[in-house]
Structure 1
Amino acid sequence: MVNLWVESYKDGKKDSQPLTQLSYGNSPKEVSEGHLGFGMVNPNSEDTLVFLYGPSVRTQPSIIEKEFQTNGSWDYAIGKEEIKLKLGETKILAAYRETEGNSKRTLDLHDEKSVNRIIKQNKTVLLLKLKVEERNANHN
């Protein structure tokens, strides 16, 4: 099973529930290829639509009552290169952050200290995360 979710942090504190989440899988194929990601529609309006997508699957857009700032920016952990995941390993795929002012530090999403620093230093942070788990087909 592939689990994809967005964690939301406000003023350094993690929200108790993911902003949005998607689980899919139980495929007989050992390798699954395709695009996956997170989308925001109208991020600068009072009601923002958010959704997740993966190979042949997506969530319905859901409304969140949050207006994102125009000076927010995305950082990506991976490019177009192929990645391999170990079962049970959580990977950060991307981070969105709203900064105070125009200063922006470079970010290494593979370094836990760097990620913790941006969570503490930025007003709003969203982390797109992925985890692959082995589940029995009869397991609910």
Structure 2
Amino acid sequence: MKRIYLNENENENEKDFIIERKEKQYKFPKLILIMRSELYRGMFLSVTNDTSNKVTDYSELSNKSFQIFEYWIYSNQIKEEIQITQEIINEIQIGIDYFQLNQTNPNLFDLLINKFNNQNQNQKVKKKENCLIF
């Protein structure tokens, strides 16, 4: 799955479903969405006459939070350079429910909490290093 994400230009044919957001369209393979989200599993596997390959995202997630979801869906990871805030954690928690994500190992919420705690721990250490001790 991570290969599809990382080689995004080479694998456009594999991305057969679009999630539209206000400013951008995100392309995903239906199979990955079926594996990761009960919302999309129900949508794609139900018997309907709808042949649409596009849906509008009403989750109201920030772009940063949606990009965290996108990367996790493909890789089971969070990008190293992403700074996690309490606001992002709150949004992701709502998004997990909205998208009815299959919380496989590693669990997205647990990854966020661990990264958030590690970031805060590193900030405390940096502050201590910058203090003068008399």
TM-score, normalized by length of structure 1? 0.23
Instruction: Judging by fraction of residues, say which structure has more helix.
Output: 2
Q: Which has the higher strand share?
A: 1
Q: TM-score, normalised by structure 2?
A: 0.23
- Flag the structure with larger Rg: 2
